A and B are shown apart, each in its own frame.
Chain A
Amino acid sequence: MRLTDLPLRQPAFVETIDWESLSSVEGQRLREFGLCEGASVEALHHGGLLGRGPLAVKIGRMTIAMRRSHAAAVEVSTGPQEAQA
């Protein structure tokens, strides 16, 4: 499931990230925010009236605002977490 489709306040973890679809600056910044395979994530809020605004996502202990296009690059899973990266 993509991070954009994750129901709000449902804990999940990152399965894969399509780094290719992110620019190098964006990728670097997201990595610095702690986004990586295996990280715990939770979608907290959708911005904008029609659900087209940015997404507030908890990554580890940080809350990050990101656009939907970035969140769509992140595949998440709500199942039991296998291994920590």
Chain B
Amino acid sequence: MSGLPLVALVGNPNAGKSALFNALTGARQKLGNYPGVTVERKAGRLSLADGRPVELVDLPGTYSLSPASPDEQVTRDFVLGKQAGEKLPDALVIVIDASNLDNHLRFALELIALGLPTVVALNMVDLATRDGLELDANVLAQELGVPVVSTVAVRKRGLDHLKTELETLLGAQTGMLRASAGEPDFDAVRREARRIARAAIVRETPSRRLTAAVDRVALHPVLGLALLLSLLFVMFQAVFSWASVPADMLEGWVTALGEAVTNTLPPGIIHDFLLQGVVGGVGAVIVFLPQILILFFFILMLEATGYMARAAFLMDGIMAKVGLSGRAFIPLLSSFACAVPGIMATRTISDPKDRLTTILIAPLMTCSARLPVYGLIIAAFIPARSVGPGIGLQGLVLFLLYVAGIVGAMLAAWALRLTVAKGRSGGFLMEMPKYQWPRPQDILIGLWQRGVIFLKRAGTIILATNIVLWVLASFPHAPEGVKQSEYSIAGRIAGGINVLVEPIGFNRDISLALLPSMAAREVAVSAIATVYAIDAEDDAEALEQGLGDRLAGRWSLATALAFLAWFVFAPQCISTIAVTRRETNGWKWPLFMIGYLFVLAYAAAGVTYWAAVAMGLG
């Protein structure tokens, strides 16, 4: 906590709060978590006209001070000064959507009643004008008794005026909560909101809205579903096709870095450590940065335009069949990028059973960390031949792996809803925001934040895992004629694991990769690469061979398929377990999740292996 004046941005969802936050703070923002709870703390530095710095906090959007979800709880606690580790805010900026005045004013009245220094940002006035709505901000200010500033966050209009008002508020007094005289009467507040809205609306002409026109297609039972499927298809295509150029470039840099290490350092333990443990391990992972950014680009765009709510609407019927609601579709879709933000996105689900089920099945969505593993095995074992016009066998297998994850998740949701998350369905209630053209800066800020998180992961968990693995695989040195990968500490641990996984067709290479891949799935690739590099040290010919070719020579097809099946359900990475523990407030559910995913993965790999052997592929 800084000593700066603390200002909170608060308002209904879809009032344009985050756009206003981004416009006010730009790149000077920090993401974190509130201590004790998992809701993201989004704060940024803002300089007033007189140069005074202010800490601006973007609170989760909520409809009232009666919380229905963890996100809303934080908003309530924060404005009441009850949020752990936070002081009472010095001022509030209430953001309301100008074209949804009566509804947003109701919450604004609830907030103004708290008695904190307050300014109202009447946001998106341009959209209201387009809809034929003319408002008088002065009347609104008189009726509310607080200053009102018209803003268009996406065009940076009204921001200076807003800062001036903040300056006056912060100069005049410090925040003090008014003693509340019991719960305000909901209906009375609503009537008051409607009265004020009527007074402030100067002119209202009905007009056809763009949103209504687009929704006739986007929400159409047939056309809408076709549109959703096309969007998803384009998204997954883009992940693979757009990423190849930047990925090759990154790979080139990693190779160059490896050569630089070879050329500058004398052969020895430090040389080996840097080359095999650091450059090889982390390099194998960071080449996936482009794919991850492309996936997140699509997800951020779908969210920023307001389309995500439409996708949820279209999917509700299907999700209801397995006891979930359309709301769960949004976190599940983001889990294709990574389960960690996906699980965090479940916070908007108000029903606790719905939310728990969604968290437990999120790791089954094929996250981008599985791509390195799938990519390696498919390239090594599945021939690149065509099985139909425009359909390659390799692409088909990859598609089937994604489908297997989705089907597995749906079956798991259905089973969980009948057992551990038993209960009445939570229903589906959701606001459909207006369509909006996203502001490029907002998308860039989102991408930058996700990119930093991924690189941090590569630089910490993945780097550490690789270093530990390299040490365990390098010592003790094997005597002549004994393979290093078997003689080393890692090799002996793998030998123990191998007893358990031999029945499902796994070999010692896989056993060795299983433990480190618990830290992060993509480590499976770098782990195998590291071990082969250590083994191949004295074997020039083996060093020349690519990893895929070496695998193809050593593994049977049945083993490779079993390995893929394992990774469809594979027990998740440490970050996922950690975020699940945080989101469910304890160890019970993460342990349950690890357990059930292990059983599923073991069974899936086993069935795949035995079936493949029976078909003569062993």
Given that A48-B317, A62-B103 are contacting pairs, would A33 and B215 also be in contact in the complex, using a CB cutoff of 8 Å?
Answer: no
Asked if B79 lies at the interface with its beta carbon under 8 angstroms from chain A, I say: no
Taken together as a complex, chains A and B put the C-alpha atoms of A59 and B494 apart, in Å, by 62
Give the dominant DSSP class at B's interface. helix
Residue numbers in B under 8 Å from A36 (CB-CB) = 187, 190
Instruction: Please report which residues of chain B, range 427-450, place their CB below 8 angstroms from some CB of chain A when the two chains form the complex.
Output: 427-432
Q: Is A54 within 8 A of B102, CB to CB?
A: no
Residues of B with C-beta under 8 A to A63: 211, 215, 431-432
Q: How far is the CB of A59 from chain B (nearest CB, A)?
A: 9
From B221, B429, B432, give the contact of A53 (CB < 8 A): B221
B368 at the interface (CB under 8 A from A): no
Q: A26-B427, A61-B102 are in contact. Are A47 and B63 (CB under 8 A)?
A: no
Q: Which parts of A29-82 form the interface with B (CB within 8 Å)?
A: 29-34, 36, 44-49, 51-54, 56, 60-67, 69-70
Residue A83 at the B interface, CB < 8 A? Answer: no
Docked complex Cα distance between A85 and B438 (Å): 37
B219 located at the interface, meaning its Cβ lies under 8 Å from any Cβ of chain A in the complex: yes
User: How far apart are B199's CB and chain A's nearest CB, in angstroms?
Assistant: 14
**Does any Cβ of A come within 8 Å of B203's Cβ?**
no
Chain B residue, CB-CB nearest to A23: B427
* A28 in contact (CB, < 8 A): yes
A29-B68 contact in complex given A64-B432, A65-B312, C-beta closer than 8 Å? yes
Pair A60/B103 contact, Cβ less than 8 Å: yes
A84–B429 CA distance with the chains assembled, in angstroms: 25
Contact status A64-B215, CB under 8 Å: no
User: Are the CB atoms of B431 and A54 closer together than 8 Å?
Assistant: no
Tell me if B313 is interfacial: C-beta within 8 Å of chain A: yes
Could you mark each residue 402-432 of chain B with 1 if its beta carbon is under 8 Å from any beta carbon of chain A, else 0? 0000000000000000000000000111111
Cβ-based interface call for B130 (8 A): no
Distance A26 CA – B314 CA, assembled complex (angstroms): 20
Q: Does B309 contact A (CB under 8 A)?
A: yes
- The residue from A44, A49, A70 contacting B427, defined by CB atoms under 8 A apart: A70
Interface string of B335-362 (1 = CB under 8 A from A): 0000000000000001100000000000
Nearest-CB distance from B399 to chain A (Å)?
24
- Give min CB distance, B390 to chain A, whole Å: 28
**Do B221 and A46 have beta carbons less than 8 Å apart?**
yes
Give CA–CA (A33, B429) in the complex, Å: 10
B178 within 8 A of partner (CB): no
- Give the distance to chain A from B423, nearest Cβ to Cβ, in Å: 11
CB nearest to A58 among chain B residues: B212
A36-B190, A45-B220, A56-B219 known; A64 vs B317 contact (CB < 8 Å): no
Chain A positions within 8 Å of B, measured between CB atoms, are 23, 25-26, 28-34, 36, 44-49, 51-54, 56, 60-67, 69-70, 84-85
Name 27 interchain pairs, CB-CB below 8 A, sorted by A. Answer: A25-B68, A26-B429, A28-B68, A29-B63, A32-B103, A33-B429, A36-B187, A44-B215, A45-B216, A45-B313, A47-B313, A49-B225, A53-B313, A54-B313, A60-B102, A60-B103, A61-B100, A61-B103, A62-B100, A62-B431, A63-B211, A63-B215, A64-B432, A65-B312, A66-B429, A67-B320, A67-B429
Query: Which residues of B are in contact with A by a Cβ distance under 8 Å?
Result: 63-64, 66, 68, 99-103, 106-107, 186-187, 190-191, 194, 211-212, 215-216, 219-222, 225, 309, 312-314, 316-317, 320, 326, 350-351, 427-432
